[in-house]
Chains A and B, each alone.
Chain A
């Protein structure tokens, strides 16, 4: 009875490609997984300790809708210190339940029915569904391996429609590990301003940039007023389960997002906010330690795939490699499934992150060097077998 009363809009969204794969993997005993999208480090103890202490002190009530004032202040200080961005913590910052809530809020605050949203793909799994739920038409911009999965002005120009309002980008990128350095961002600013686009810039992996400093698109002239930044504590501080994210943007936009957040969520979890406060204030060196470790594993992975004879561009951010498996003659899904059954290694098919991920797989290196070496060896055996065929 209930079935034909359900929302058509929600029902029509295809199930997550990751979910489908997850079900197969969980049934597999003793498989090695490179499928995880979160750090392998524990949250640094001083952060956890601060969460515990807040509970001991009885800090168990709602906070202000926007989040603790001192946390917002610490976030804005941090953004200034690390990325030279200047946001007013009282009016231009909102603490959210993970970066994911920020993505949803930003889209709901910007979209009118029928607006077009341009999404650079492959990308995080929630962009398309959230845009769709907000009432937007989604226009995918498939990024190319030959451009190292960066977005170019040409690609934006080619995708623009009269109804285009929002461009969603995320660099460093999950799943590709692609980055946009200062010169690459500079090259797309003009077309964004020319077409009066608003940018939702998901910078959750900003701290995991290797060998260069992350630059936000909001730091370019004319961009601050048309950018909403999504960020959070999950990846940089290994705090995924705490669900701590935030958005930064012009006062009107953040104000509207705060209104939606206030009715949908009330306020982000209080314990997590106290823990995040410690992270933003005192944990730069923990982030540095983790970044260094990821960077070392990253080289091991790229080299590992290249030795198998697969094309693998060198990702300079996040903790993923995105090798091409086209030489094996398999589709991404076939590759991932057969690899799992043949060698008991789980990787995620590129298609889980958009159709243009076909021909690629996402492998996370948020694992110990020992685990990565075993996984690479097994993948190598499988690839050899497939190429011989």
Chain B
């Protein structure tokens, strides 16, 4: 049942427990219990809203930074990753295979702000060997959602 709940709320976390119960053929209390348990177990880590900031008056700049680091004895990459992800400007950090070690996603309100953060805060960190900054120019699709999709129901209203 957990997998079914997760599959549905991954795309629609606003769905009501009573509808989930109907859709999954279980009672409301069980579903609510299961969700609470998954929250405690950190399987469900949060409920976010996907916002297309380009459609607002807020300036938002997203950058993807390729970071090469020196792993530390006994700690591997975890210690340095933590020193990076603790910054509030950093929205995501992934350990990568291939030509660099960490992908760091940074959000700021201007390019300058992001560049300053990388140049003055991230790059000078001990163990950081190099950084490569790529600014996002346009987001087409995020978290499985096509952002500018103005889809209409093209089907005829009544068909056999």
Contact = CB atoms under 8 A, between A and B. Distances in A.
Nearest to B8: A296
A373 B19 contact: yes
Contacts of B158: 18, 21-22, 25, 33, 35-36, 346, 348
Contacts of A369: 12, 15, 19, 23
B23 A300 contact: yes
Contacts of A125: 160
A346 B157 contact: yes
A78 interface: no
A296 B23 CA distance: 4
B25 interface: yes
B160 A124 contact: yes
B159 interface: yes
A237 to B, nearest CB: 16
A40 interface: yes
B155 to A, nearest CB: 5
A133 interface: no
Interface residues of B, number: 17
Contact of A300 (B19, B155, B157, B160): B19
Interface in A5-40: 16, 18, 21-22, 25-26, 31, 33, 35-38, 40
Contacts of B25: 299
B22 A25 contact: no
B153 interface: yes
B16 to A, nearest CB: 9
Interface in A258-309: 292, 296-297, 299-300, 303
A281 to B, nearest CB: 24
A35 B159 CA distance: 6
Interface string B5-34: 001100010010001001111000000000
Query: Which of B19, B153, B155, B158 lies at the interface centre, i.e. has the most chain A CB atoms within 10 A of its CB?
Result: B158
A124 B157 CA distance: 17
B156 interface: yes
B2 to A, nearest CB: 15
B155 A38 contact: yes
A125 B23 CA distance: 30
Contacts of B23: 296-297, 299-300, 369
Contacts of A33: 157-158
Contacts of A124: 160
Given A40-B153, A369-B15, A18 B24 contact: no
Interface in A25-66: 25-26, 31, 33, 35-38, 40
Contacts of A297: 23
B22 A303 contact: yes
Contacts of A40: 153, 155
Contact of B159 (A31, A36, A299, A300): A36
Contact of A296 (B24, B155, B156): B24
Contacts of A16: 160
B34 to A, nearest CB: 16
A199 B115 CA distance: 72
Nearest to A24: B158
A124 B160 CA distance: 7
B156 A36 contact: yes
Contacts of B15: 369
A25 B19 contact: no
Contacts of B12: 369
Contacts of A31: 157
Interface in A327-377: 346, 348, 352, 369, 373
Interface string B130-160: 0000000000000000000000010111111
Given A299-B23, A300-B22, A373-B19, A18 B160 contact: yes
Given A33-B157, A36-B158, 4 more contacts: A35-B159, A37-B159, A299-B22, A299-B24
Interface of A: 16, 18, 21-22, 25-26, 31, 33, 35-38, 40, 124-126, 174, 292, 296-297, 299-300, 303, 346, 348, 352, 369, 373
12 contacts: A21-B158, A22-B156, A31-B157, A35-B159, A38-B155, A40-B153, A126-B160, A292-B4, A299-B23, A300-B23, A303-B22, A369-B15
